[in-house]
Structure 1
Amino acid sequence: MIIKKVAKHKLIFQKRLQQKNTLQSISKIENNTLQLVLKAFKLAKNNSFSKEDITAFKRCEAYRDTLINNDSIINYEIFGINDTATVSEICNKAASKQKWCHFLYNIAKELTKATVLEIGTNLGISGTYLLEAIKGKNSFFTTMEGLPQLCEIASKQFETITTPDNFKVVQGLYDITFPEVMKNERKYNLIFIDGNHKKEPTLQYFNVIKLNIKSPAIFVFDDIYWSDAMKDAWSIIKNDPSVNFTIDLYEQGIVIIDTNENIKNKHFSLHLSY
C-alpha cells in the first residue's frame, strides 16, 4: 500500500512539474473539442466560475449534504451480495468529489447540445452537476445504475432540476441494460464511465459506445489507476486508432474522438486535484 501511494504521488509530482509546458502544448492545437476540455480544466483548476455557476454548485452541494446526513439502509441483493450500507456511507465512499464535479459540469456546459451518457449513477451527485450544466439547452441525460434504491433517490433529485422528459435513469444489471441502452437511436457526445472498475467491462463499454457517438465526442473514464487491470484498459483505450486526443488526470482519463481531426493518439498528462 505504501509503495502504491509513493508511486502515485511521484507520478502526480511529475505531472505538476510539466504542467505549464503541457498546457502551452495543448493550447497550440486547433481542435475545438480539445480546447473546450482545456477551458473546462482551467476553470476548475483556478475556481474561475460565474455567479450562475456558483449558485448551481451550491444547490449541488446542498444535495450532497442531505445524503451525508441520510442513514437510510441500501442493500446489495441485486448483485447477489448479502450486505448493506447507509446512504451516508455510500456518499462518503463512492460519490464524485466536488472538484471533479466542477470539471465535468464545465465540459457539459460548454457543449452546444449535450447528449450525455453516465454509467454509474450512484446517488446522483455527478448527475446533479451534469443536469445543472445542460438544463434548458435542448440536451438529454441518460444514466445507468444497478441498485434500485439508488435509482429512486437519484430520480427524485433530478426531478428537482428538470422535467423527466430531459433525463432517463436506467435501472438494472449492466449486462442487461447496457445492450438495451445502445439499441436506441440516441448518439452521445459526452460519456462518463464510472460504474465498473474492471478491465473487460471498461473496454466493452468503450468499444460499443464509440460506435454510438455524435462526433466530436468526449469520454471521461473514472479511476484509470484503480488497479493494474484498469491501467491496462486505459493504455488500450488511449492507443485505439479511433482516438485523437487523451488527457491523463490520474483520477480520470479524458478521451476525444473527432472524425474530422487528422491528429491521432496525441497524449497529454495534467494534474487537477488529489
Structure 2
Amino acid sequence: MLHIIKSYLKFLWHSKNEHAVHSPFVFNLLTKCFYDKKSKPEYSILKNYRKSLLQNKNFIEVTDFGAGSRVFKSNKRQISKIASTAGISSKRAELLFRVTRYFEPKNILEIGTSLGLATSALALGYPKAKLITLEGCPETANVAKNQLTEFDCKNVENVVTEFESYFEDLQLRLKTETENFNLIYFDGNHSKKATLAYFELLLPTIDNDSVWIFDDIHWSAEMEEAWEIIKNHSKVIVTIDTFQWGFVFFRREQKKEHFTIRA
C-alpha cells in the first residue's frame, strides 16, 4: 500500500492534461474519448450489470493463477465482495467503453475475465467486434458467462483456460496463419514475469493500429519495472500512463513519445 501511495504522488507531480499534449493523435484521443463527459445509454447497462453482481450473495471457489489478492485470504469468496473489491470501477468501465467505441476494434482479446465487468464494457463499446475473453477459474468464468448472456453481450467468446496454454496454441496457429488483435486488455496476472511474457508472445498479433491496455501498472515495483521495459521496446511508439492503466500504441507514423495523463 505504501508503494502505491508513493507512486500516485509521483504520478500527480508528473501528470498533465490535454493542454500539455502536442501530439494530434493523443490530443484527439484525450478530448474526444478520455474527457468525453456526455452520458451514454450503455452506461445504465454497465451499472445494472454491476448492481446485479453486488446483489449476488452466493459463494464460489476461486482458482487464482495470478499474483494473488490483497483483499481475500481464502479462495472461497462471495460474488458481491469480488465485484465490490476486485472488479473494475464504474468510472474505468465507462472509460473502457469509450475507448472501445473510439477505436472500433474488430478483434478484441481480454486476458482475465473475472466477473465480466470489463468484458461488458468492451462488448458494448463495439458490438460488431469479436471479443475473446480468457479466464483460468471455471467458477468465476461461469458467473461471467451467465451475466454476459443476461445483459445481451452477444459478441463474447468465453474461454476457460490457463493463459499460457492459450498462448501456446496461438503460437502454433501463427506459424501457418495471420491473427491480429486490434485491442488487448491485460488484466490477468499482475507480475513482472507474466506481463513481459504475455507482451512478447502477443507481439506477432499487432498491426499498426493495435491498442494494448495494461491494468495495474503501478501495482508493485516489479510491475513498474515491467512497464518501463515495455515502454522502451523498439516496437512500442506511444504510451500513455493514466496511473491505473498503461496504454500502448504501435503507430509507425508517430515519433516515440511517452505521456503521463490524468484521466
**Shorter-chain TM band:** 0.7 to 0.9
* Counterpart mapping for 1:1-274 below 5 A: 1-2=1-2, 4=3, 6-16=5-15, 19-20=16-17, 23-26=18-21, 28-31=22-25, 35-36=28-29, 39-43=32-36, 48-50=37-39, 53=40, 55-77=41-63, 83-135=75-127, 138-159=128-149, 160-163=151-154, 166-181=155-170, 183=173, 185-259=178-252, 261-264=253-256, 266-272=257-263
Amino acid in structure 1 at the alignment position of 2:89: K
Structure 1 distance, partners of 2:245, 2:24, is: 23
1:76 deviation in Å? 3.0
TM-score scaled by length of structure 1: 0.83
CA distance in 2, matches of 1:181, 1:59: 33
Contact kept, 8 Å, 2:4 with 2:218, in 1: the verdict is no
Q: Percent identity?
A: 27
Instruction: For residue 159 of structure 2, give the secondary structure of its aligned residue in structure 1.
Output: strand
TM-score, scaled relative to structure 2: 0.87
CA contact (8 A) 1:131 1:158 kept: no
- CA distance in 1: counterparts of 2:187 and 2:27, whole angstroms: 21
Rate the CA distance shift 1:37–1:74 in 2: closer, same or farther, 3 A.
farther
Amino acid at match of 2:29: L
What is the rounded CA distance, in whole Å, between the counterparts of 1:239 and 1:156 in structure 2?
Answer: 40
Structure 2 CA distance for partners of 1:38 and 1:243, relative to 1, 3 Å: farther
Shift of 1:180: 2.5
- The answer to whether the 8 A contact 1:132-1:161 is kept is no
RMSD: 2.4
Deviation of the 1:113 alpha carbon: 4.1
In the alignment, structure 1 segments of 5+ residues that lack a partner are: none
Quick one: which amino acid aligns to residue 140 of structure 1? Answer: K
Give 2:11's aligned amino acid.
I
2:4/2:220 contact within 8 Å kept: no
> Which amino acid in structure 2 is aligned with residue 267 of structure 1?
H
Please, which runs of 5 or more residues in structure 2 have no aligned partner?
69-73
Query: Whole-Å Cα distance in 1 between the matches of residues 249 and 27 of structure 2?
Result: 7
Size of the alignment, in residue pairs? 252
Equivalent pair of 2:123/2:129 in contact (CA under 8 Å): no
Offset at residue 25 of structure 1 (A): 4.1
Displacement, 1:65?
0.9
Which segments of structure 1 move beyond 6 Å, counting only runs of 4 or more? none
Contact preservation (8 Å) 1:105, 1:129:
yes
